[in-house]
Structure 1
Amino acid sequence: MGKGRIDGVLVVDKEEGITSYDVIRKVKRYLRGVKIGYLGTLDPLATGVLPLLIGEGTKLAPFLENGQKVYDATIRLGVTTDTQDKDGRVIREEDLSRWDLTPERIEEVLGEFRGRIKQIPPMFSSKKYRGRPLYKLARRGIEVEREPKEVEIYELELRDVKPPFVRVYLRCSKGTYARTLAHDIGERLGCGGHLFALRRLSNGPFTEKEAMGLDEVVELASRGRLKEAIIPLGEALSFLPSVRLDDEEVWKVRHGGQIERDGEEGFLGLGRLLNSRGDLLAVGEGVRVGRRIWIRPVRVFRIDQEQEEV
């Protein structure tokens, strides 16, 4: 993270009609040779928070990928598609006048999907079957049996009902398919349905407040100012406790060694190990041994020597 390096998280507000990897491709034009990944795929239909992990930021993935996701979702009732969203082929249409679609009935059905539920991954998904992505099989008209997967719906609130559209607020665990949820809600109501619109409001600790439109990102990058939009490594993990290390401890951690602290000065479980300047040197894991806490590094980040001042 010296003058010539960019390491951290860039939160992009993805627009509709492009893939998550399209976003990476555009940013990579200005960061050649730098590793870039993202947290949580957004389908082309979806918009909103897409955190990009850049440089050493790619090492943050194990500590961020299990974060909760929050969405604003719109379901269209009466039309079922093969992809479970509006981009798919229509396979069923229903006359909505035949069904009870009052807010009371919809709320009753939503209640059935709160808490721990099981979802069958859609055929049009990147989930693998015998080493091949399901969507490749689906494009050839092949459907295979998929194992249901348990996910958790922490909140599912009815926000608006204007038939054929139903708008909901969704807070869920990693791995939840919003379009499958829309499809299953439609099936439970009897009339079928699909995901018509989806906006991700937050992904783990990252929200719309930090998100920047792709055009704005490209503009900053073209002027060599992309670093202004980067969330530093340590700040991206600010939800973890931290301890600051002296120079000798920094050397130990850089070489895989453990450090120790009094019980009140350390942390149990995961936490941040910071150098004298407050930069993230490593993520460590603390365990109690008697009255002391021993912390071992589980992921060390490469920081410029001049930045560490060691």
Structure 2
Amino acid sequence: MRRFARTLTTVALVATAIAGTAGWASGDAQEAVTGAPVGTVGWRAAGLPDPERMSPDGIARFFAGLDPVRQEELARTHPGVVGNLDGAPLELRYAANARSTRGEFGGARVLAHDPRGRGQVALVYGDLARAAHVAVIVPGSDIDADHVRPLADMATALRRATGGRTAVVAWAGYTTPVGVGLDAATGRLAEAGADRLTRFVDGLGAVGAAEPSLFCHSYGSVVCGLAAHDLKAKDLVVLGSPGMRAQNVDALGTSARVWAAKDPTDWIDRVPNVEFAGLGHGADPADPAFGARRIPAEDATGHGGYFAPGTASLRTFAAIAEGDVR
């Protein structure tokens, strides 16, 4: 009976945190956008291979078998498909998405753009094909194609901190929660996001890009935690994390180095690190017992301050991205 009472208390704490934690706002339930890219019906009707039946490696082989003229023709006639095919040549995807976005995302090259729902986008800063080091930033709540600026700012800050040597991808490639309501407290959207993230990273490998370091903020760390066992990444860095749906680093099932940062003023620290009946995301990755390598973040401020210029967290992120720390 006492154990049952403690369980009910835990659930109540989670519900209270969702509903009333300072700085959190109730969110509307979101429907995860998944499946084949927009325009796939026309692509299939043209006798082209089904994108949902090909791996990124298979897509890379398909395009490698086409001459440049045919590749460009496909990008021109099926931009919504080519621009979102993980494993397609980078330059071809950039060209296809330039047609569909018409310069909407200035200062970056668009590697993916899905207009469905609230919109998804992957923005590239730097030369992804030639860079010796690649970083991918996975965001949390409220980021989408129309509200990508906070994520883009993180990406440009990280790139500047590496002296421009690391190519950085701002990956808003999944349906994020809106505000912090039940969507943010459950793993439903993160599960869909984990599948899309895994395929995206596989696509980078299929075209010869360097194995990335992933920087996963807030709910994005839940996505990275669920994808960890399949991700081909050299580092998993979580910041302001509510949990990774794992009790410790070993439970993630990854060979990547796992890092965690949480500053003392981050309100995420007031959210109970529990997981029960689908609510909550489990252990705190910044707790020493979790087993992650700790990143200094004492001079960062709030939930979104980890990439602020001059902070120890940003300097450490840059060193991780460039392989300068062991």
TM-score (norm 2): 0.22
Question: RCO greater where, 1 or 2, for CA within 8 Å and sep 6 or more?
Answer: 1
TM-score (norm 1): 0.23
Structure with higher Rg: it is 1
The structure that is strand-richer by fraction is 1
